Structure 1
Amino acid sequence: MLQKLLRSVRNFYVATSLALLGWMTFFDANDLPSQVRNWLKLRELEGETKFYQAEIKHVQTERREVLGSDRLREKFAREKYLMKKPTEDVFVIVDAQNEPIEK
Structure 2
Amino acid sequence: MSNSKVNKKKYLRPFKNVFVLILIVFAIWMLFFDSNSWFIHHELNNEIEALENEKEYYKKEIEKDRKAIKELSTEEGLEKFAREEYYMKRENEEIYIIEYEDSLKTKEDE
Q: TM-score range by the shorter chain?
A: 0.5 to 0.7
Tell me the distance in 2 between the aligned counterparts of 1:65 and 1:17: 65
Are the structure 2 counterparts of residues 83 and 25 from structure 1 closer, same or farther at C-alpha, using a change threshold of 3 Å? same
Aligned to 2:67: 61
Shift of 1:75: 2.4
Within a 5 Å distance, the mapping from 1:8-23 to structure 2 comes to: 11-23=17-29
Select which of 32, 38, 48 maps to 2:54. Answer: 48
TM-score when scaled to structure 1? 0.61
Contact 1:79 1:92 in 2 (8 A): no
Aligned to 1:6: none
Aligned to 1:73: 78
Instruction: Pick 1 or 2: higher relative contact order, CA cutoff 8 A, min separation 6.
Output: 1
Are the structure 2 counterparts of residues 27 and 57 from structure 1 closer, same or farther at C-alpha, using a change threshold of 3 Å? same
* Structure 2: segments with no counterpart, 5+ residues: 1-15, 105-110
Name the aligned partner's letter for residue 80 of structure 2.
K
Are the structure 2 counterparts of residues 83 and 97 from structure 1 closer, same or farther at C-alpha, using a change threshold of 3 Å? closer
Tell me the distance in 1 between the aligned counterparts of 2:55 and 2:70: 22
- Higher gyration radius (CA): 2
Alpha-carbon RMSD: 3.4
Quote the sequence identity (%).
Answer: 28
